Structure 1
Amino acid sequence: MKEIMVRAIYCEMLGYQASFSYIHAIKLAQQGSVLEKRVGYLAVSLFLNETDEFLLLLVNTVLKDLQSTNLIEVCMALTVVSQMFPKDMIPAILPVVEEKLTHPKEIIRRKAVLALYKFYLIAPNQVQHIHSKFRKALCDKDPGVMTASLHIYLQLIKENPESYKDLTGSMVTILRQVVGGKLPLDFNYHSVPAPWLQIQLLRILAYLGKEDQGYKFVVVSEGKLRFLT
């Protein structure tokens, strides 16, 4: 069945519909070994979307895998949740995803933040109560978790910059650390320190300062962040 799923994915990539395999992809994610579940989840994420009724069959499986002691199963479930999940079923799974924000493994915390970001995009009212946890993610010791949280803050600040003015200092500090090469070398791209992260931080600062022209800043080529008042 695992090999059939791989071929069904290939057929769909070529533009041919393989709808006959959708239910088998769900069954593979529900009942297979770890490797088979991984292929099943991959197929489901490629075949289905948030409005597909087939996803309702997967909710209990995702909930069970999120509570698993197997790190790989938790990662797979969070990946599927961050890509697609029925809007009506978010309340059933939200508390479990919230718990993962304090998980000892940084990859789990990072995927949990991305899942909550997805929830915010499709049902913002359901995640209003966990903004304090977003702030903890912004201050996470792992730069990957911090970077993931910026997706949420870019959206929040874009919609209501006045409510997040107090974060300006934190964003400036993060930008200084990035420009100063404080992040691991894995974040560098062609010797440039995390260019995508720099752009995102500049966008956030632009929204924060849109209605307040009292402060301006420039990033110079020598890697120093200077401020002009």
Structure 2
Amino acid sequence: TKIKDYITRLIYCDMLGYNVEFGHIHAVKLTQSAKGLWDKRDLRSSNHLEVCSALTALCHVMNADMIPAVFNLVEEKLSHPKDLVRKKAIMVFNRLFHNAPDLMTHLDEKFRHMLSNRDPGVLCAILCLFVDFVK
């Protein structure tokens, strides 16, 4: 549990902009452990703040190996009742687009529908995604 606490602090320091590359190997080791630190419970949580934290973490640590495990869970969050969760899900898909653009083709209609959203944060996120599509 000490390592878990240290990794949490490293993530916080990374979010503040500090260089924490020295801790990446320890984070990888922790995720490879038998018990597993993160088993997608945060994405299934009923607390929208936990879901937002999980989506933010995905933006920072997602790689090609993680995509199949979380893709459907993140896709479900596009229709979440909270605007902040939808915005974070779009941000994850923006990051996903850079790693695996071919997985995004069936979501075009959902993304177009989100252009009618009233929340400016969601609109900004979806427009950023469309700008990346066009590039």
Residue in structure 2 matched with residue 42 of structure 1 by the alignment: 12
How many Å apart are 1:152 and its aligned residue? 1.1
More strand by share: 1
Letter matched to residue 150 of structure 1: L
Residue in structure 1 matched with residue 124 of structure 2 by the alignment: 147
- 1:99-118 to 2 correspondences below 5 Å: 99-118=76-95
Residue in structure 1 matched with residue 31 of structure 2 by the alignment: 57
How many Å apart are 1:144 and its aligned residue? 1.1
Residue in structure 2 matched with residue 179 of structure 1 by the alignment: none
Q: Which has the higher contact order (CA 8 A, sep 6+)?
A: 2
Structure 1 residues 143 and 122: alpha-carbon distance in aligned structure 2, compared to 1, 3 A threshold? same
How many Å apart are 1:101 and its aligned residue? 0.7
Q: Equivalents in 2 of 1:62, 1:76: separation in Å?
A: 14
How many Å apart are 1:104 and its aligned residue? 0.7
Contact 2:78 2:86 in 1 (8 A): yes
Contact 1:113 1:137 in 2 (8 A): no
Tell me how large the CA RMSD over aligned residues is.
Answer: 3.0
How many Å apart are 1:82 and its aligned residue? 1.6
Q: Which residue of 66, 69, 80 corresponds with 1:89?
A: 66
Letter matched to residue 153 of structure 1: F
How many Å apart are 1:41 and its aligned residue? 4.4
- 1:6-85 to 2 correspondences below 5 Å: 24=3, 27-28=4-5, 39=9, 41-43=11-13, 47=20, 54=28, 57=31, 61=38, 63-85=40-62
Residue in structure 1 matched with residue 75 of structure 2 by the alignment: 98
Q: Equivalents in 2 of 1:131, 1:29: separation in Å?
A: 40
Letter matched to residue 111 of structure 1: K
Letter matched to residue 42 of structure 1: Y
TM-score calculated relative to the size of structure 2: 0.77
